Amino acid sequence: MSNKVIYAIYNDDDVLMDAVKKTRAAHYHIEDVFTPFPVHGLDKAMGLAPTRLAICAFIYGLCGISFATWMMNYIMIQDWPQDIGGKPSFSYIENMPSFVPIMFEETVFFAAHLMVITFYMRSRLWPFKEAENPDVRTTDDHFLMEVAVNDNEEELVSFFKSTGAVEVNVIDKN
Amino acid sequence: MYTFSSRLKTFSLILMAVGLLGIGYGFYSAPKDIQEVEALLAADSHGSHGEASHATTAVAHDEHAATTSHSDKAEKANHSVKEDAEHKEHLEHVLHQLSNKPWAAVYVACIFFMLLSLGTLAFYAIQQVAQAGWSPVLFRVMQGITAYLPFGSVIFFVILVLCGLHFNHLFIWLDPEVVAHDKLIQTKSGYLNFPFWIIRAGIFLLGWNAYRYFSRKNCLAQDEADDNTFYKKNFKMSALFLVFFIVTESIMSWDWIMSIDPHWFSTLFGWYVFASFFVSGITTICMVTLYLKSKGYLEHVNTSHIHDLAKFMFGISVFWTYLWFSQFMLIWYANIPEEVTYFVTRIQEFNLPFFGAVAMNFLFPVLILINTDFKRITWVLVMAGTVILLGHYIDFFNMIMPGTVGDQWFIGIPEIASVLFFLGLFIYVVFTALTKAPLLPKRNPFIEESKHFHY
């Protein structure tokens, strides 16, 4: 069985939003939507689950502050507690104010970088990755909705024509 | 139109009555002479109620404290004349601190609530100048809160005048006796003298109140207007006010708070004080909004508006902490004796309130308000807001008490009663003001956007 999909192409984000809502109401499964810029509310209309990236970042931040605390405690208090300019190095808490800038920066550093890397991994982005545009115009001024075809090609094409698509293509995807 | 519910009105009147009684009790029970102080200290040193602060009395005091201990009779018999003089001096010192206690309690509560409404006023002016599209539905709430400013200002000004008339020793530089023996204060007397100080205070309070008065007047006039002239007037006035505000706010913080410790100075103090009452003001806006919303008076306020206020609470709490830490760490790090005494007294004698304020104003709100969903839940915000407001009261307590009552501090009847009195007055004035005008501005150019604000 061939793997056919429909590419419904729109040239306006409002029309696209309406089409997405209609497609969902008609219970056709949207494989993907390609847009040249973020369309506000599109994820909600498509019914996508909210991102958990912020939760990751929070946990990475906790890792960062733990790392900084462990590192400064080990270096400055445990390993070689020197008297440097009269700063009390008897315990971590006594000298903590001078470690706070590092603790803060490490927290931000871990949270930011690990979150970005998580984003790249989860969205499969890397330098020599092959681009996945179904249609080059989607990076400029067109919007494309991809819907799987299950023996209902005629029905789907006429449906997407009715949603205001400027072009409806049936593509054989292998 | 809002109607002041009779239950809330009664509640605020009860708060005021209880507060007044407590304040009266505070003044009544303060020791009048050194004999009473001696009796008090004797009772204290026998451990009847050992306050934590006594365990950490500064080294300089230990010597004096020992002389007040009546347990060792042999030592007492050997008192030399010099020790007696020292003992008397110590008693006088404690007498000043104890007689300052009810004054300082009223002063802290009074300045806290007045600055809280000033913080709201600053937020309101910023919203006007920034042409914020989300906040116009909250303008009447903010105007209601700032209605406390004239009342707070008058009471505060009267307290300042009473300080100048030597009813208390809150500001030691106001005491000519002290100044005569203090070279450091003498060199500052060009700035720290009563006439100049009280005139400055008058100008600041008049300026802030004038902005509040005319801004509200224009806002109400804009409702009935058929063009935007009043809106534009308010815009210009708010911009001018913000310039005036930031200058006067800075000087105000030196005059009314920093000069309590006239031997100490800090350059970012003005900002630090600002952050403290600014976040309190925003929190108050949020809590009053939630209250009115829960009573069904704010039709167009949705969770997105609340979410925005919560973000401000979160952000400015962090900003306060940043300034708190910057001030503390710079002084701790360099450890210059003339600066560091400020924190030495606070850490030794105010340990719990000093670090507790950081937990309440930073740790708690940061961990609670970091979550997007939590920022829309009423009970979470009320809880976080209560902790933030209490935390900033403690913050003002920490700024004022060490220089006025020192190690004799306690959060007892005078302190709590003062807060209750001013809280009652605040509720009464604010909710009365809210009944005076519709809660939705009619012809604000951004009102439609604000009604449909969605985040």
Beta bridge partners of A6: A147, A170
Instruction: Give the start-end residues of each E strand in B165-207.
Output: none
A54/B372 touch (CB, cutoff 8 Å), yes or no: yes
Q: Is the pLDDT of residue B7 over 50?
A: yes
Mean pLDDT of A94-99: 95
| pLDDT category of residue B51 using cuts at 50, 70 and 90 | very low
Nearest CA in chain B to A57: B370
How many whole angstroms separate alpha carbon B453 and alpha carbon A85?
55
How many whole angstroms separate alpha carbon A98 and alpha carbon A101?
7
Q: Is the pLDDT of residue B353 over 90?
A: yes
Mean pLDDT of chain A: 93
| pLDDT category of residue B446 using cuts at 50, 70 and 90 | very high
B325/A100 touch (CB, cutoff 8 Å), yes or no: yes
Residue contacts between A and B (CB atoms, under 8 Å) = 12
B332/A97 touch (CB, cutoff 8 Å), yes or no: yes
Q: Is the pLDDT of residue B70 over 70?
A: no
pLDDT at position B75 is 52
**Residues of chain A found within 8 Å of residue B328, distances taken between Cβ atoms:** 97
Mean pLDDT of A72-90: 94
What is the percentage of chain B residues whose pLDDT exceeds 90? 79
Q: Is the pLDDT of residue B49 over 80?
A: no
pLDDT at position A173 is 79
Q: Considering the entire predicted model, what is its pTM?
A: 0.90
Phi–psi pair at B79, nearest 5 degrees: -55, 125
Mean pLDDT of chain B: 90
| pLDDT category of residue B39 using cuts at 50, 70 and 90 | confident
pLDDT at position B90 is 86
pLDDT at position B97 is 87
Nearest CA in chain B to A94: B332
What is the percentage of chain B residues whose pLDDT exceeds 70? 92
pLDDT at position A123 is 93
pLDDT at position B56 is 40
CA distance B400 to chain A (A): 24
CA dihedral A32, A36, A37, A42 (to 10 degrees): -30
Q: What is the ipTM of this complex?
A: 0.90
Q: Is the pLDDT of residue B371 over 50?
A: yes
pLDDT at position A174 is 65
How many whole angstroms separate alpha carbon B156 and alpha carbon B330?
32
**Residues of chain A found within 8 Å of residue B329, distances taken between Cβ atoms:** 97-98, 100
Mean pLDDT of A117-129: 95
**Residues of chain B found within 8 Å of residue A58, distances taken between Cβ atoms:** 370
Question: Which burial class, exposed, middle or buried, applies to A38 when counting CB atoms under 10 A from its CB (0-12, 13-18, 19+)?
Answer: exposed
**Residues of chain A found within 8 Å of residue B335, distances taken between Cβ atoms:** 86
**Residues of chain B found within 8 Å of residue A100, distances taken between Cβ atoms:** 325, 329
Length of chain B: 455
Q: Is the pLDDT of residue A54 over 70?
A: yes
pLDDT at position A1 is 52
Question: Which residues have C-beta within 8 Å of that of residue B310, sequence separation ≥ 6?
Answer: B286, B369, B374, B375, B376, B381, B384
Q: Is the pLDDT of residue B100 over 50?
A: yes
Mean pLDDT of A131-151: 91
Q: Which two tokens stand for residue B248?
A: 């006067």
pLDDT at position B38 is 81
* Max CA distance (Å), chain A: 83
- Return the CA Rg of chain B: 24
pLDDT at position B89 is 84
Least CB–CB distance from A98: residue in B333, B370, B372? B333
Nearest CA in chain B to A54: B371
Least CB–CB distance from A97: residue in B333, B370, B372? B333
Nearest CA in chain A to B372: A54
Instruction: Render pLDDT for B258-268 as a digit per residue (tens, 0 to 9).
Output: 999 999 999 99
Residue type (1 letter), B204: F
Helices (H), B335-412: 337-349, 351-358, 364-369, 378-404
CA distance B195 to chain A (A): 41
Instruction: Render pLDDT for B376-432 as a digit per residue (tens, 0 to 9).
Output: 999 999 999 999 999 999 999 999 999 999 888 999 999 999 999 999 999 999 999
